[in-house]
Amino acid sequence: MKTLFHNRYDAGHKLAQRLLWQLPETTLAGAVALGLPRGGVPIAYQVATQLGCPLDVFLVRKLGAPGQPELALGAIASGDMCVMNDDIVARLQVSDADIEAVIARERQELARRESYYRGTQAALELHDQTILLIDDGLATGASMHAALTALKQHQPAQVVVAVPVAPADTCEVLEPHADVVICMDTPEPFGGVGRWYQHFEQTTDDEVTRLLAAARV
């Protein structure tokens, strides 16, 4: 099987080139790059560096199914937003009590990361800004959907979803919820985001904080 990217930094470099090619200068001028932690931050760092725009994180947590943590029941995001994948919940017959337990656990982790990543650093202003919302790839799209829903509270000028790889049908589902959706590669059969990276080690909290600090220099 042929991979598409060496690692997240390679994917971020290629995604930045795609954005420069596909989007007009007026869209990119004054844009803010938001990475979905943790894996989306190295991608967003490369994009922010090459486009010369500020970098921040937008926190989203997948709600993993009991016993099947890689399968998303939905996701939560900053701003106390929650988006559920009703089809998967119904298919697995997950109880309300189990769902609430997963939500409570992930909200605690989201709050921990928010504090750890930013410290005393204030979040970037998003109102009336062009937002480049970036992850290392999409599977079900639940996390990105939650992020898009939460971003509406900030009333950005426009939101561009940008990812290196995703299934075509997931990208199509997101199109009504963003101004632009850029899925650079849509291979089939998909089989998971990590399949398309030669190196797909988990991004650490320390790497996220290091990249955020480097982007502020």
Tell me: do 15 and 82 sit in the same domain: no
Residue 75 lies in a domain: yes
Kindly report, residue by residue over 39-86, the tens digit of the pLDDT: 999 999 999 999 999 999 998 888 888 888 877 888 888 767 787 888
Tell me: do 142 and 181 sit in the same domain: yes
Residue 2 lies in a domain: no
Q: What average pLDDT is seen over the chain? A: 91
Rg over CA atoms, the chain: 16
Tell me: do 139 and 33 sit in the same domain: yes
Mean pLDDT confidence for 174-199: 95
Q: How many other CB atoms are found less than 10 A from the CB of residue 118?
A: 15
Kindly report, residue by residue over 3-26, the tens digit of the pLDDT: 799 999 999 999 999 999 999 998
Which has more pLDDT, 60 or 156?
A: 156
Distances (CA, A) of 87 to 34, 41, 167: 28, 29, 18
Residue 3 lies in a domain: no
Tell me: do 105 and 175 sit in the same domain: no
In the prediction, which pLDDT does 43 show?
Answer: 98
In the prediction, which pLDDT does 36 show?
Answer: 94
- Prediction pTM value: 0.85
Tell me: do 132 and 39 sit in the same domain: yes
Mean pLDDT confidence for 123-144: 92
Tokens standing for residue 214: 């480097």
Query: Which domain, by its residues, includes 76?
Result: 62-117
Tell me: do 108 and 123 sit in the same domain: no
Count: domains in the chain: 2
In the prediction, which pLDDT does 214 show?
Answer: 94
